[in-house]
Amino acid sequence: MMGWGLLMLSLHVLSFLVSGVTSGHTSSYVRTEFPSTDIPLESEWFAIPKGYNAPQQVHITQGDYDGKAVIVSWVTPEEPGPAEVFYGKDKQYDQKAEGTTTNYTFYDYKSGYIHHCLVNGLEYNTKYYYKIGSGDSAREFWFETPPAIDPDASYTFGIIGDLGQTFNSLSTLQHYEKTGGQTVLFVGDLSYADRYEHNDGILWDSWGRLVERSTAYQPWIWNAGNHEIEYRPDLGETSTFKPYLHRYMTPYLASKSSSPMWYAVRRASAHIIVLSSYSPFVKYTPQWLWLKNEFKRVDREKTPWLIVLMHSPMYNSNEAHYMEGESMRAAFEKWFVKYKVDLVFAGHVHAYERSYRISNVNYNITSGNRYPVPNKSAPVYITVGDGGNQEGLASRFYDPQPDYSAFREASYGHSVLQLKNRTHAVYQWNRNDDGNNVPAETVVFHNQYWTSSTRRRRLKKNHFHLENLEDLISLF
């Protein structure tokens, strides 16, 4: 007889085996503690590392297309110092990579010296140790590379958005660290420095020190949000994304992108596409042309899980930022359906919401269905803009809940996506329940590519066959 946890998982599996859309649910949970105020800058959570010119704000991201490289980034506050990374499979650090150093000014703020170093030629499924800085101020960290690209490579992603640097933000980080997540998919809005007078760059520094507890040890796949734009002509700052682009590198050239704002990586069994909600994306623009070509590069036989990241959600039933993603939906949704994207993660709205598999591709301004309809080829759209920032929660959802919305709740939290194999993934949204980590929703997703009847028959013949629900559950 199944235990309670197994029974609950079975119900979730069954819910996604049935076709069509059922009624959605709006959670009645109301958060009561932890006000949305930033942690004081003198807090221990923002502590500056000991030693003269010690590296700080250390973070890594994937450095190539297929997961055999990382970009290591850090800041030295007093002087440039060496832009070198010593690394190896043990703490002998028998290899060295050299990087570049930059800095910037924003109005009356001058950044420290920002270092970026590509460490490539790594082996899959390997733990590497690395050291940066010099003398007594040197600091040591480690990271693990992903498994080789393979359709059945299991891997766990965390999904975080709109984080900020409040006590709620810290709670999100602490909870995520306990999940076993191996890489974070970050959907935009990092430091919220633009909420301070003159877009105070000191808040970029404090945020980098706050998140270092995670970013120094595992890749965060970066995406920019509206709070990274920082267009301030009144301050003489007329370029966009200036602090973000100086501080956070992306491997955009590896995916033939012309801009670090949009790019793609492959990791384990996933092909991840990062889009920029605040860069031109209409027809014939560089981002549009790149995405058109990138979808053609996707090989679902090797990376069956196709995941898209953006900041502004295409489907959102919250009053906050309502319909702001509509123009990108009109530009890209037909491709999402054509190529059977599995999941689209977005932030921006400070609440949680998951959709059914729906699309509105038949609508135009003169004819066609005006409402989203069930579509088995469409992705599930998930909004996770609930990391914990100072702007507070978006608690006002439209009533009644639209048919396309499966579950929604105005709470802080994060998500975890466990890719089990080429056919199934377990997804969980974790609520920061007044400081405690509470799993609020668990769903089993079927892979869009391998759910076709032809491919199921091929998988049954050549790989394995799920005889019944018990066999499916045994995969987890």
Residue pLDDT, tens place only, 205-215: 999 999 999 99
pLDDT score, position 34:
61
Given a cut of 70, is residue 274 above it in pLDDT? yes
Q: Which tops the pLDDT comparison, 298 or 2? A: 298
% the chain with pLDDT above 90: 82
Nearest to 323 by CA among 221, 228, 407, 402: 402
In this prediction, residue 12 has a pLDDT band, given cuts at 50, 70 and 90, of very low
Length of the chain: 476
Given a cut of 50, is residue 45 above it in pLDDT? yes
User: Who contacts 27 (Cβ-Cβ below 8 Å, separation ≥6)?
Assistant: 407, 408, 409, 411, 440
pLDDT score, position 371:
87
Q: What is the average per-residue pLDDT within 168-196?
A: 96
Given a cut of 90, is residue 379 above it in pLDDT? yes
Given a cut of 80, is residue 72 above it in pLDDT? yes
With vertex at residue 320, the alpha carbon angle to CA 315 and CA 321, rounded to the nearest 5 degrees, is: 60
Q: Report the C-alpha gap between 291 and 274 in whole angstroms.
A: 10
Among the residue ranges 50-59, 244-253, 459-468, the one predicted with the least confidence is 459-468
Neighbours of 421 (CB within 10 A): 20
263, β-bridge pairs: 274
Indicate the burial class of 334 (C-beta count within 10 angstroms; 0-12, 13-18, 19 or more): middle
Q: Sign of the CA dihedral 439, 441, 444, 445? A: negative
Given a cut of 50, is residue 412 above it in pLDDT? yes
pLDDT score, position 13:
42
Given a cut of 90, is residue 166 above it in pLDDT? yes
Strand pairing report for 405-409 and 56-62: unpaired
Q: Report the C-alpha gap between 57 and 64 in whole angstroms.
A: 22
Contact yes or no for 183/217 (Cβ under 8 A): no
Q: Report the C-alpha gap between 165 and 197 in whole angstroms.
A: 16
In this prediction, residue 1 has a pLDDT band, given cuts at 50, 70 and 90, of very low
CA distances, 17 to each of 123, 258, 406, 427, 446 (Å)? 38, 41, 15, 15, 9
Average pLDDT, the chain: 90
In this prediction, residue 370 has a pLDDT band, given cuts at 50, 70 and 90, of confident
Q: What is the average per-residue pLDDT within 345-353?
A: 97
* Phi, psi of 423, deg, nearest 5: -110, -30
Query: pLDDT, tens digit, for every residue of 117-163?
Result: 999 999 999 999 999 999 999 999 999 999 999 999 999 999 999 99
For helices 326-338 and 286-297, give the axis angle rounded to 10 degrees.
20
Nearest to 100 by CA among 124, 74, 65: 74
3-state secondary structure of 25: strand
Q: Report the C-alpha gap between 438 and 431 in whole angstroms.
A: 5
Neighbours of 463 (CB within 10 A): 13
In this prediction, residue 369 has a pLDDT band, given cuts at 50, 70 and 90, of confident
For the whole prediction, is pTM greater than 0.85? yes
Q: Which tops the pLDDT comparison, 399 or 31? A: 399
Please indicate whether residue 321 is annotated as part of the active site: yes
Q: Report the C-alpha gap between 430 and 189 in whole angstroms.
A: 19
Given a cut of 90, is residue 331 above it in pLDDT? yes
- Level-2 CATH architecture, domain 149-467: 4-Layer Sandwich (3.60)
In this prediction, residue 26 has a pLDDT band, given cuts at 50, 70 and 90, of confident
Given a cut of 50, is residue 8 above it in pLDDT? no
DSSP letters spanning 55-72:
-EEEEEEE-SSSSS-EEE
Q: What is the average per-residue pLDDT within 369-396?
A: 93
The two tokens of residue 194 are 């633009």
Q: Report the C-alpha gap between 69 and 62 in whole angstroms.
A: 6
Q: What is the average per-residue pLDDT within 351-365?
A: 93
- The four Cα atoms 194, 188, 129, 175 give a dihedral, to 10 degrees, of 100
pLDDT score, position 338:
98
The two tokens of residue 38 are 């930033």
Query: pLDDT, tens digit, for every residue of 219-265?
Result: 999 999 999 999 999 999 999 999 999 999 999 999 999 999 999 99
Catalytic residue among 311, 321, 414, 424: 321
pLDDT score, position 457:
61
Q: Report the C-alpha gap between 343 and 425 in whole angstroms.
A: 11
Q: Report the C-alpha gap between 112 and 205 in whole angstroms.
A: 9
In this prediction, residue 33 has a pLDDT band, given cuts at 50, 70 and 90, of low
Domain coordinates in residue numbering, the chain: 149-467
Cis peptide before 77 (omega within 30 of 0): no
Among the residue ranges 25-29, 49-53, 289-293, the one predicted with the least confidence is 25-29
Strand pairing report for 84-88 and 95-98: antiparallel
CA distances, 417 to each of 229, 378, 424 (Å)? 28, 18, 11
